[in-house]
Amino acid sequence: MILASLLVAAPAYAQAKDVLQGGPKPQITPKAPPIISFQSQYGPGTILIDTKRRRLVYTLSGGRAYLYPITVGRLGFQWSGTHRITAQRNWPDWRPPAEMRKRQPNLPALMTGGIHNPLGAKALYIGSTLYRIHGTNNAKSIGLAASSGCIRMHNAHVTHLAQLAKIGTTVVVKPQLPPRLTRNFVPTAVPGASQSTASATAAPSQQPSRRNMAWRRAVLGLN
């Protein structure tokens, strides 16, 4: 009777068959993107996201800003609005929402944080929405419209942004910023070995199970 009660009380994700391990959590070195001239009405310390151009701007004083390349929502999953950063998490766990699991039945109930987790090294939570500005361990997706609405960044970039964007930072998401604000947008280089080398050197030696590989293929490119 006691054993039965414990089994009933255990959360669904406590069952091993519903949990996917995210792997190691290496130290990520923050990397700053280019600083551009950015004369705007937005005060210093504001995050602006241009969905069309797939760029995130963090405004600085003196009419300047950091310019980061990002991944945005794919067609049908894009959105706009103004919110604030409400939380930050290092190597966050991932619990796919019910609607996502309905679309992708192979997804686990829980994937722990780590180098295989689609949320990457850091997540900044946007208001009370389900969306996040987060890292990614799939660097090839940066610059695409490929997520389920979240904003992806290189791990080294989101770690840098998180040092600047504290709780309460305003986030403005627009389909596109006016051309007068984007004339200084420049191509942004991919960060160096701070994320790719860490993943390669910290990866576990054992081979993942066939089921785990199927899950990882399912989550690749999502959210």
Q: Phi-psi bin for 206: left (phi > 0), alpha (psi -120 to 50), beta?
A: beta
What is the spatial distance between Cα 128 and Cα 29, in angstroms, rounded to a whole number? Answer: 29
For 30-61, how does the pLDDT look when each residue is reduced to its tens digit (9 = 90+)? 999 999 999 999 999 999 999 999 999 999 99
pLDDT less than 70: residues of the chain: 1-17, 188-223
Tokens 């791990």 locate to 155
Spell out the residues 6+ positions from residue 108 whose beta carbon is closer than 8 angstroms to its own: 13, 18, 19, 20, 96, 215
What is the spatial distance between Cα 93 and Cα 47, in angstroms, rounded to a whole number? Answer: 24
pLDDT at 10: 37
Q: Token digits for 160? A: 């840098």
For 189-206, how does the pLDDT look when each residue is reduced to its tens digit (9 = 90+)? 555 433 333 333 333 334
Identify any residues that bridge with 154 across adjacent strands, giving them in sequence order: 136
Q: Report DSSP letters for the chain, one per residue.
A: -HHHHHHHHS-GGGSGGGEE--------------EEE---SSPTT-EEEETTTTEEEEEETTTEEEEEE-BEEPTT----EEEEEEEEEES--B---HHHHHH-TT--SEE-SSTTSTTTTEEEEETTSS-EEEEES-GGGTTSEEESS-EEEEHHHHHHHHHH--TT-EEEEES---HHHHTT----PPP-HHHHHHHHHHS-SSPPPHHHHHHHHHHTT--
- Global pTM? 0.78
pLDDT at 17: 57
* CATH 1.10.540 applies to domain 12-34+71-165: no
Q: Which of 196, 68, 207 is nearest to 138 (CA)?
A: 196
* Extents of the domains making up the chain: 12-34+71-165
pLDDT at 96: 84
Q: Token digits for 108? A: 């686990």
